[in-house]
Structure 1
Amino acid sequence: MNLGKMFDWPDADVILRATHDAQTRDFRVHKTFLSFSSPVFKHMFDTQQPQSTSLDGVDIFQVGDPPRALELILRFIYPSPSPPIIDDLTVLSEALVLADEYNIEAARVQLRSSFLEFARIEPLRAYAIACRLGLTDEMRIASSHTTSIHLPSIDDLPDEFRFIPATEYHRLVLLHARYRKEVEAIASRTPLPGFSLIDTLLALPAFLNNDRVKRAKEKVRAREFAKEHFRGRIRDSVALDPETLANVLKAEGNFITAISNNDIQSHVGTILGQASDLNLTV
């Protein structure tokens, strides 16, 4: 994280002394900047007495904030030619808490935007953190990204899951079960010229080897291939609305096992549900 050593202004009129988990750091800052950006800071400076005074006569206010997270928040308050680069999900989650506590909207917006990138890179940790912080949209996005990875057992989950209810893990289990079922259904019935993708790929191990491990690996590969096919088809050629999808399926009915109106409507619902799980625009 490119925060560096800053906030040691010689003309500072207040010191924030951040102490958390045996870490302590002083931030020499300006009341005007902090009060303008945060009504909570303004109220603190207006109504509370400083805990002590520095040798050069600057008031010291004690705060129980993680120093790295507080520095990140201050970087959003002070003018800067470029936003800070955030490469630590733990610090980001702590900063999100501080952005809410100090009611700093600019920091909150930027941090949530950065959080979405971590949802793609570390979806399980991001999901648990979003659950703990009550970030509904981020929970949904992070959960959709978990479908691209293996869901570990409870004992092997990231530490962040210790701070959320077990029911949130159960929601992921249900999502993955639904995801596997619908990807297989879509891949086997989505129109493709002349062959059924999932059937062909899943049959491949029988021709290669009857070994159980190899068959399992081929099934995983098949599901991943099917998932990517579905993403590409939806994004490139099929609009995500029920009427358009139904018309496409009727037009390409020769490649669908059953094309009654009920089957088509059922297939349309499956596609729309899967598209939502994949975080595609519906």
Structure 2
Amino acid sequence: MAAEPSGSTATTSPYHPLFNDPAADTVLRSTEGTLFRVPAFVLRRTTGYFAATLPPPTAADTEPVPLDEPASLLAHTLSILCGLPPPSAAPLDFDTAEAILALSERWAAPGAAARVRDAITGPAFLAEPLRLYVVAVRAGWTDEAHIAARGTLVLSLYDEVHHELLRRLPARDLMALLGLHRRRRDALDRMLRSESTEGVSAAAVSGCCGACGLSADNHLWKEYRARIFAEMDIRALGDTVIGSGTDEWREALACWNAKCAGAGCGKTIYDRDTILPEIKACMDRLPDTV
């Protein structure tokens, strides 16, 4: 290639650097004017939209096909459809993933959606489980929705910060997610009632002294149970209910320090080493996804 004359100004190619093969017979144009050379047979084979609308090329210099899509989105999506490396070394993020999914729906391009699905349970996406749940249910991905729902158990869904994402959910999926959090809270509360036969043993939380048999008001256990209920309402995962932090709860300390008032007895009424493992066993039986 001949050198440019001294003093000349180099011009920037209007073509995207990954899509500038003269052998490609179709040219697409983004909203910014960036051009993409893509083989027509690839577009027709991978998308229902171009299979139905793309006219056959009539000349070597085909008129660009205008698209109402930004260049960055076209670069990502066309790279997937053409089997090319991604246009950026940065990992796929939520904004790009959702944009590709929306475009794959407009174009009827299942291959692009499948690539997003392969990546959607990576660490960056799992770190935002509610947004992942929204994406998964809208895409109809049941397994990924179950994974995401499980991840939301660390969140307080009624916190205002989550309202925008929750509004994006179809009513059925919203109620399923809220129901999961509520079921865990309510099921654990049932198991912790002294009359329950499926959870913590009644003898351990009855308020009755195991040594002398003296019966006492059971209000201390009821207050402890109410604290657990409140914690589960905030964080349905339940890790704050069975972790070491509970030893600092006023309600827990009151139970562990309660002594029998019987004459000459003074034995501990609530056995911490018995009750905490039983609470943990109850937690392990709770539903963990929608």
Note the C-alpha offset of 1:144.
2.0
Matches within 5 A, 1:159-178: 159-165=164-170, 168-178=173-183
Q: 1:13 maps to which residue?
A: 25
Asked whether 1:70 is paired with 2:74, we answer: yes
Residues 96 and 111 of structure 1 are in contact (CA less than 8 Å); yes or no, is this contact kept in structure 2? Answer: yes
How far 1:121 sits from its partner (Å)?
Answer: 1.5
Structure 2: which 5+ residue stretches go unaligned? 1-15, 206-219, 244-273, 276-281
1:60-98 superposed Cα distances (whole Å, 9 cap, x missing partner): 112223433332221112233689764321210121222
Letter in 1 for 2:20: W
* Alpha-carbon distance change, 88 to 169 in structure 1, aligned in 2, over 3 angstroms: same
Q: Does 1:224 align with 2:239?
A: yes
Greater gyration radius = 2
- Contact 1:15–1:28 (8 Å) recurs in 2: yes
CA distance in 2, matches of 1:114, 1:34: 23
Q: Give the one of 139, 150, 155 matched to 2:145.
A: 139
The structural deviation recorded for 1:162 is 4.1
Contact 1:183-1:223 at 8 Å conserved across structures: no
Which residue identity is paired with 2:63? D
C-alpha spacing 1:80/1:28, structure 2 compared with 1 (3 Å): closer
Q: What is the aligned-residue identity percentage?
A: 22
Q: 1:147 aligns to what SS in structure 2?
A: helix
Deviation of 1:31 (Å): 1.5
Structure 1 window deviating more from structure 2 (82-91 vs 58-67): it is 82-91
Determine the C-alpha separation between the residues in 2 that align with 1:60 and 1:183. Answer: 62
CA deviation map 1:96-129 (0-9, x unaligned): 2222333333322221121233552211112223
Cα offset, 1:166, TM superposition: 5.3
Report the counterpart of residue 99 of structure 2 in structure 1. 94
Q: Which amino acid counterpart does residue 43 of structure 1 have in structure 2?
A: A
CA–CA distance in 1 between the matches of 2:191 and 2:184? 10
Distance 1:87 1:79, change over 3 A: closer
The residue correspondences of 1:126-275 to structure 2 (distance < 5 A) are: 126-153=132-159, 155-157=160-162, 159-165=164-170, 168-182=173-187, 223-224=238-239, 271=285, 274-275=287-288
**Which structure has greater helix proportion?**
1
| Residues 184 and 236 in structure 2, CA contact (< 8 A), matched pair in contact too | no
Unpaired segments ≥5 residues, structure 1: 197-202, 229-254, 257-266
Q: Supply the AA of the counterpart residue of 1:80.
A: L
Tell me how far apart the structure 2 counterparts of residues 82 and 61 of structure 1 sit (CA, whole Å): 23
Cα distance in 1, alignment partners of residues 235 and 177 from structure 2: 18
Alpha-carbon displacement from aligned partner over 1:168-216 (angstroms, at most 9, x marks no partner): 444332221112234566799779xxx99xxxxxx99x99xxxx9xx96
For residue 30 of structure 1, what is the aligned residue in structure 2? 39
Number of residue-to-residue matches in the alignment = 209
3-state SS in 2 of match to 1:15 = strand
Secondary structure of residue in 1 paired with 2:287 = helix
CA deviation map 1:229-253 (0-9, x unaligned): xxxxxxxxxxxxxxxxxxxxxxxxx
Normalising by structure 1, report the TM-score: 0.55
Equivalent position SS for 1:9: coil
- Cα distance in structure 2, aligned partners of 1:221 and 1:128: 19
Q: 1:77 to 1:178 in 2, by over 3 A?
A: same
